[in-house]
Structure 1
Amino acid sequence: MFNTLIRKALTAGVALAALALPASAEEIYPAKLAGHAFLPAFTLVAPPADAPRDAMISGKFTGSTRNHEVMSVPGDVGAAYGNHPTGLALPFLGQPVQGLSGFAMNRAEDGSIYVLTDNGFGNKVNSPDALLFFHRMKPDFEHGTVERLDTIFLHDPDHKVPFRIAYEGTDSRYLTGADFDPESIQLVDGEIWIGDEFGPFLIRATDEGRVLAVYETKLNGKVLKGPDTPRITVPATPGKDFQVQRSGGYEGMALQPDTNLLWAMLEKPILGENGEPEGDFLRVMTFDPKKGEWTGASFRFRLGEGAAAIGDFNFIDERRALVIERDNGEGDPALACTGTDATSCYPNPAKVKRIVLIDTGATDDEGFLRRIGHIDLMNIDDPEAKAVIGAEESGKFAFPFLTIENVMKVDDRHILVANDNNLPFSGGREIGKAANNEFILLEVADFLAAE
């Protein structure tokens, strides 16, 4: 009994000490590339036969005026990233598979992975013709390819969405990027749960994409809203009329294996009444899918040094979970710009791209979750030359993408990570080319065993 108490006291002491450590003092674990595959950037799917004809051409509203001329406007990465072209042009004939924004922890019966596509082209205004869907996919690391087995479109024939949708007057009522920005996904008892950034909302649907319910967000009993929540009108006061930052909703939503609770994590810090971020941490709220309500429990995840947001969140056991943490950089730091000409360099290169291991069962008095350690996605060992693109002579491999939004445990030695390529607005791997959707299998046995 005495020895048990001593062990508990020592464990608690270690946990509290770890909570006080900054991210820079965390242990960094090695990662080895065990497999690499990619889905080409320019991968499109046809809309369902009963979808409005409007959905046959997507991206018509990404410019200042409506544009129906297919592939007439070249895409680029934007001024902040050097205005590099991506080699693709809008609008598209069909719907882009791009923007992979979440892995479900549980797999389909055939072993395939549930993968989510986000809202389309980045915001409500430019995505009313971008359909919302998720997929079942299988990466093939032997051949470096990713097989898309199925694409399931979200639709609301039963009028469960509590506001007017873009395709309101149609029979099929397919959802679009003007309605939601889906960023995280889980499979719970045969049903699909999706975390949205606009509301932020939780969406419950069948595995065939039929919406069953939409839940607003509550923290400490109060409803949280964002600037894109329906019925928020301009002028609106940040921190009072809305508390969640734009593009700050549920980027990560993990399913806890033993409780089947959803742990929904906001991407960015919420705003205080003064309109400023409340701190360098993110809120995490738990939701009970069986009861269809928030539990009232909430936690805090402190961002590490240099991180601006998170990309995904998935449990690996009953207590520990993986969180993607990132900065807003894109591209190889070795090609960082040194002057004003950004033609062949990266003005804002990638630096902070991590997978953090946390312990959800260890919190301090303020509710901060314990950070155990992390791996550095900019410093991956590749001694066996597994990289199919982006290989380095040094035997190293990096994942220098702006948004990395997919992570899941594969087994006790491996995790799977993938990027969101923001088609056609992101590069990162090669200047002048749109980023592909890359899947990397990482051998991280020590990292997964860390406590």
Structure 2
Amino acid sequence: MRTPGRFALAVSVAALTIGLSASTAGATPTFGQATLTGFAVLPARTFVPGSEPAGAALGTAPVNGVALPFADQPVQGFSGVLRNSDGTFDVISDNGFGNKANSGDFLLRIHRLAPDFASGKVDVVGGITLTDPDARIPFALTRPDRVLTGSDFDIESITRTPDGSYWIGDEFGPYLLHVDRAGRVLQAPIPLPGVKAPESHELEVGEKPNLGSSKGFEGMVKSVDGKYLYPLLEGTVAGDAPGALRFNEFELRSGAYTGKRWTYQLESPSNSIGDAIAVDPDRFLVVERDNLQGAAAAFKKIFLVDRRDRDKDGKMDKTVVADLLSLANPQHLAGAGDTFTFPHQCVEDLVILDDRTLGVLNDNNLPFSAGRVPGQADPNEFITIRLSERLHAYEQAKS
């Protein structure tokens, strides 16, 4: 799927009509039903060949039918995605098995995926492990060889700059990490001023954190002009309104936060965001989800948000563009009927493929999530969906 060179910026009359009618009724503006157009699966039991054992802290009792511990590193936990020009995608695996204490033998890695929607399969065609050979990180790491693990960082979001280097959002600090195209750390982790999670190395003795555990940078946007990053917190900072998430601005040229920020308001304080991506200079797509799975899942939506705050309520404006629990499925893909659901606990990867088509992936939390089949560990699923309206987006840079 190729992206057109540049999309028109004008908003269609049809989209305006939908937004105005919904606003008049006092409800969140909503596109029509989105349609499932592609489905591909990477099996849960997919491992990096010839790698190291993992999951020693998980015990030996099987979980959701998966034997533990693992003889090799599992390819799992996708929490950020980037599109490449050759049809492949780079994805990051997060901290491993859920927390700092149990993920010391999980190696942080960027995997390269090649989905084939005709066959319904996803191939892993490469990847890099994150390392700090030049000791840029000023605090102690888990391993003496300075290979980064899930006990060092909880990486959840990623973007890339034209030189091929990656910027990665971490939840433990929260920190911004900058690594080269081989995964080597280029500079000391950059903390978010005034915000500290319990795992942060910036906490002073006796200081209390003001952000929940692993509630840091779940989403991170690169501006369409390539000048800024906009990391979005997953959790609410102490003292902020319930469900209010900070959307911060970081300037790449100066390597510092500008002090500007906006507010993304969750539909429920118990919800979480999963990912974020730029549409144009002022609009972004954000995945918002509940923390339930399978039949219990009730909220998995993608919002188009506008930081211009046209209703002047102090929060970014929101429009629902897709309900992932109610996708039209006229082709009956994935063996489903007329309606397809994406009922995974963690929906954490979003990519724009063209002006009406999005790619969405889940974080399968191997071996813990079982949203597709009860008692059976979830695979990593890669779906494509077609929106009922155009986004009128700038082309998303592939670099």
**CA positional deviation for 1:162:** 2.0
Q: Which residue of 2 aligns with 1:44?
A: 47
How far apart are 1:373 and its partner, in Å? 2.8
Alignment deviations for residues 338-397 of structure 1 (CA, whole Å, 9 cap, x no partner): xxxxxxxxxxx1000001111234466564211133311100000111225xx13xx110
Alignment match, 2:315: 368
Is 1:382 paired with 2:326? no
User: C-alpha separation between the residues in 2 aligned to 1:293 and 1:215?
Assistant: 12
SS of 2:102's equivalent in the other structure is coil
AA of the residue aligned to 2:53: I
Q: Is the 8 A contact 2:32 2:388 kept in 1?
A: no
Partner of 2:230: 263
How does 1:10-25 map onto structure 2 within 5 Å? 24-25=27-28
Corresponding residue for 1:112? 88
1:26 shift after superposition: 2.7
Q: Structure 2 vs 1, CA of residues 43 and 24 (structure 1 numbering), >3 Å: closer, same or farther?
A: farther
Deviation, 1:62, is 2.5
Q: In the alignment, which residue of structure 2 is the partner of 1:227?
A: 198
- Asked if 2 retains the 8 angstrom alpha-carbon contact of 1:188 and 1:260, the reply is no
- Kindly indicate whether residue 181 of structure 2 is the aligned counterpart of residue 207 of structure 1: yes
Contact 1:36 1:439 in 2 (8 A): yes
Q: Which runs of 5+ in 2 are unaligned?
A: 1-15, 394-399
Following the alignment from structure 2 to structure 1, what is the Cα–Cα distance between the partners of residues 21 and 211? 29
Partners of 2:225 and 2:271 in 1: how far apart?
A: 31
Q: Among 365, 369, 381, which residue is 1:438 paired with?
A: 381
Partner residue in 2 for 1:78:
none
Distance 2:24 2:176 in 1: 33
Q: Give the alignment of 1:287-302 within 5 angstroms.
A: 287-302=250-265
Larger radius of gyration: 1
Is the contact made by 2:177 and 2:190 (CA closer than 8 Å) also made in structure 1? no
CA distance in 2, matches of 1:144, 1:28: 28
* TM-score of the pair, normalised by structure 2: 0.88
- Aligned length, in residue pairs: 377
Q: Which amino acid aligns with 1:131?
A: L
1:163-183 superposed Cα distances (whole Å, 9 cap, x missing partner): 10001x22xx11000100000
- Which residue is 1:409 aligned to? 352
Residue correspondence of structure 1 range 261-410 to structure 2 within 5 A: 261-272=228-239, 278-305=241-268, 308-332=271-295, 349-362=296-309, 367-388=314-335, 391-392=336-337, 395-410=338-353
1:321 to 1:141, Cα distance in 2 relative to 1, 3 A: same
Q: Shift of residue 431 of structure 1?
A: 1.1
State the Cα distance separating 1:281 from its structure 2 match: 1.3
1:18 is displaced (CA, Å) by 10
Identity of aligned residues (%): 39
Name the SS of the counterpart of 2:99 in structure 1.
Answer: coil
Q: TM-score, normalised by structure 1?
A: 0.78
**Map of 2:217 onto structure 1:** 250
Letter aligned with residue 212 of structure 1: L
**Partner in structure 1 of residue 4 of structure 2:** none
1:46-125 to 2 correspondences below 5 Å = 46=49, 56-63=52-59, 72-75=60-63, 86-104=64-82, 107-125=83-101
Shift of 1:447: 5.4
**Equivalent-residue separation in structure 2 for 1:376 and 1:435 (angstroms):** 20
Distance 1:299 1:143, change over 3 A: same
Q: What is the distance in 2 between the residues matched to 1:233 and 1:321?
A: 35
For 2:258, the aligned partner's letter is T
- Cα contact 1:185–1:253 (8 A) shared by 2: yes
SS at match of 2:65: strand
Structure 1: state its 5+ residue gaps.
Answer: 1-12, 49-55, 64-71, 76-85, 333-348
Contact kept? 2:47, 2:72, Cα under 8 Å: yes
Report how far residue 251 of structure 1 moved: 0.5
Q: Distance in 2 between matches of 1:212 and 1:427?
A: 37
